[in-house]
Amino acid sequence: QENETYTYEQAKAMVKEALAPLGEEYGKLLDRAFNEGWVDVYENKGKTTGAYSCGVYGVHPYVLLNYTDTLDDAFTLAHELGHAFHNQCCNDHRILNRDYSMPLAETASTFNECVVMASAIGKAADKAEKLALIESQLQDATQIICDIYSRFRFERMVFENREEQFMD
């Protein structure tokens, strides 16, 4: 529901339960993220806004949140943990193979978010809650399609043109 609050503990449980079908290895990664301090959870003076996940070669991923007890924040947690999982998967690759484009970077994170959203829709208490979740999902999908597709087009244009001209 729109005005309902979700504590960070509730969000962790919701994300872990929704992502359980992805397997034991994924569940263990989530446990590590939650138990080993990979996530900087709450707003703090001097902390930047938004959310971010950073992978550092040879070190566990780091997730920055500004959690304010909303359902959107729970979905953001799922999203950023998707980035963290992707970064962990890259640990086995050579350092020069760990760089990837934004459209690829958003794949695991968006997938996580969609799985958690589908779970929430399936568990909605009533038709109004289900419709509100579906509307939110449609708004997010529209934004993602516009954002990621425009980034893809830009990157494709750069790679096509760099063969023929200097790109400054």
Enzyme catalytic residues: 80
Dihedrals phi, psi of 158, to nearest 5 degrees? -60, -50
Strands (E), 31-161: 39-42, 52-56, 59-67
Q: State the amino acid at position 10 in one-letter form.
A: Q
CB 66 within 8 A of CB 43: yes
Q: What are phi and psi of 140, to 5 degrees?
A: -65, -45
Give the strand pairing for 39-42 and 52-56. unpaired
Q: Give dist(CA 126, CA 145) in Å, integer.
A: 29
